[in-house]
Structure 1
């Protein structure tokens, strides 16, 4: 298992890809363990990661229809995954005229731990730093930012604004100060190095539903971090040869080819059965 695929992250990716149902049915613990075993995660790691997700309020213990122990998504977790979908699967091209959202915050010294939480959460949402206490992101991130700050009860410390950049430096020069674009480009290149060969393999020699499930979960788990590291700047503000578009195309192709085929493997587990190895 690749180093970046932690058990906790894979569980979140699994629920995001295959664990959301209209009735929010719980996923049986025993089947969750079996599904993670296919990805190289042992049972103790699954149980400890599920416990941490439960403590964070993302998973809720529930019995399945046949009385087995299981876990369903909390309302916060469903909102988190729904917000994530707009990032992970979005294909809309950002435009310079869409403008920006600014987050301006002030936290009392007695609550400095919340200041650290605010900074780290804004960074994870894709905000860049325009000035101390002033963070900036494309305006399209407003709704998710509002949901996130409210969920973490950080909204009393923040004011959000929409606006446009009026100077004095060129916006492309300013964006290069607000974000570490070289580091973001490197993450895209690492994704391509890891998963573009997987796409080529499936294009020439399609595999089984189990292989589709495994390859898709690893690709999703790698990709879903990138739209958060990369704020989604308009092309005019990006360096020449930006790899983000190619990385997005590779993930979109893997999603189209593997997600539903992988669901054929997952469905008997989540229905309480055992899949055939035929």
Structure 2
């Protein structure tokens, strides 16, 4: 699940973002049995649970359809609905590894360098390339030289090939040999304070939710769905803004690990109960 923006606080839960989050969490089915179109009436009810009104749902769906992420269709009983395009399914699948279980990077794994050159007559591609590398979590080592932990290599290659940007880029894997300490370089390549602020904002918003759920038995499906969708909508941007930098290179008391544990606990506690609410939603 992608579509991230780097901000210094928890971003607002926009209708479009919540719809993408909903499809990523509950609207895909499985690889063997992809889900069909979600009835628009069900989508309106389900998004209403997290505070999105009907006109906003319809407007956001129209925008996502124009972008080629949603496609109109009919359910088995003939109701009008919207399903994911093949491109959208691929984008969501690409995001799963980061959002739900990215591995912790280690310094010994080294770094991935992306060095690019775009002809002047195609300079619009330069902006797209910078934007995409930023969204993948790359930091800027020098003009035209971007850096990320080595574990994002396959995702980077896949993304650049899908967007037909690979012909402008050379990828290298290697180690940082100096001259300043690597931790000091990392602090130049990424805005660590801005990233830490994002993690703390997530914790401020969702750690109290986890504490409430830790005391709550049983798990009411509607409340689980609401809290999980909002947590996922906030969380899914963070593993891109922060690509999983090695802990040994980060400041003391880095909040990223705690934020990841809070999301993982909410996911484990709420996701399946929320699916019960989605499955019971009338068309």
* Common topology (TM > 0.5): yes
Q: Does residue 1:17 correspond to 2:29, yes or no?
A: no
Superposed CA RMSD in Å reads 1.4
2:271 aligned to which of 250, 259, 275: 259
TM-score (norm 1): 0.93
Deviation at 1:268, TM superposition (A): 2.2
Q: Match of 2:77, SS?
A: coil
Match of 1:41 in 2: 52
Conservation of the 8 A alpha-carbon contact between 2:11 and 2:234: no
Deviation at 1:150, TM superposition (A): 2.1
Match of 2:14 in 1: 6
Structure 2: 5+ residue stretches without partners: 1-9
Q: Does residue 1:213 correspond to 2:225, yes or no?
A: yes
Alignment partners' CA distance in 2, 1:69 and 1:11: 17
Q: Following superposition, which runs of at least 4 residues in structure 1 exceed 3 angstroms of deviation? A: none
Q: Match of 2:101, SS?
A: coil
TM-score (norm 2): 0.92
What does the per-residue CA deviation read over 1:215-269, in whole Å, with 9 as the maximum and x for residues that have no partner?
0000000000000110111111100110001111100010000001111100123
User: CA 1:137–1:48 in 2, change beyond 3 Å: closer, same or farther?
Assistant: same
Q: Match of 1:89, SS?
A: helix
Structure 1: 5+ residue stretches without partners: none
Q: Does residue 1:235 correspond to 2:247, yes or no?
A: yes
Q: Does residue 1:103 correspond to 2:114, yes or no?
A: yes
Conservation of the 8 A alpha-carbon contact between 1:105 and 1:159: yes
Alignment partners' CA distance in 1, 2:70 and 2:23: 10
Q: Match of 2:140, SS?
A: strand
Match of 1:171 in 2: 182
What does the per-residue CA deviation read over 1:164-192, in whole Å, with 9 as the maximum and x for residues that have no partner?
21222211111111000010000000000
* 1:149-168 equivalent positions in 2, closer than 5 A: 149-168=160-179
